[in-house]
Amino acid sequence: MFCLFGHILYVCFATILSCVSFFFEKVRRTQFASPDLWKLAMKQPQGVKAKKKKNQTTNIFGETIGRLHLERQDIDSRSGKKAKALRLAEKIEKAEETEAIESELGREEEMMNSEFKQAYGFGPDM
């Protein structure tokens, strides 16, 4: 180790001496307590252990960030104007769909009747 004072360089020697006395420990008691006394001694109060909060963390700014888990909501069973409007829209859509299917079936039936009439010379409803 070198110490610099002004322009003169001094060499400093430092020695570290042990100042601690050593001691050894030995466990002399090997008998355990009875089970009921052991259970009573190991019992901890209810409020000592903090309960962990699931899905919740704190960022470096101290803000709490968490995730909520909700069940899927059934909009058909809920009451309200929006639910009524949705149900009404579904009814209208279903009615349009059935009408389109019926018109397609009617055209197919007419086409089959015309093919039958061309093949056999008379209609199937005669």
pTM assigned to the model? 0.31
- Residues ≥6 apart with Cβ < 8 Å to 19: none
Q: What is the pLDDT, as a whole number, of residue 83?
A: 63
Quick one: what percent of the chain has pLDDT higher than 70?
A: 76
Identify the residue whose tokens are 């949705």: 86
pLDDT digits (tens, 9 = 90+) for 19-76: 667 777 787 777 888 999 999 998 888 877 777 788 888 889 989 888 888 888 877 7
Average pLDDT over residues 109-117: 89
For all residues of the chain together, what is the average pLDDT?
A: 79
Domain boundaries, the chain: 79-126
3-state secondary structure (DSSP) of residue 101: helix
pLDDT digits (tens, 9 = 90+) for 74-96: 777 776 666 677 778 888 999 99
Q: What is the pLDDT, as a whole number, of residue 33?
A: 86
CA 114 to chain centre: 62
Please tell me the distance from the alpha carbon of residue 122 to that of residue 114, in angstroms, as a whole number: 9
Number of CB atoms found within 10 A of residue 86's CB: 14
Q: What is the pLDDT, as a whole number, of residue 103?
A: 94
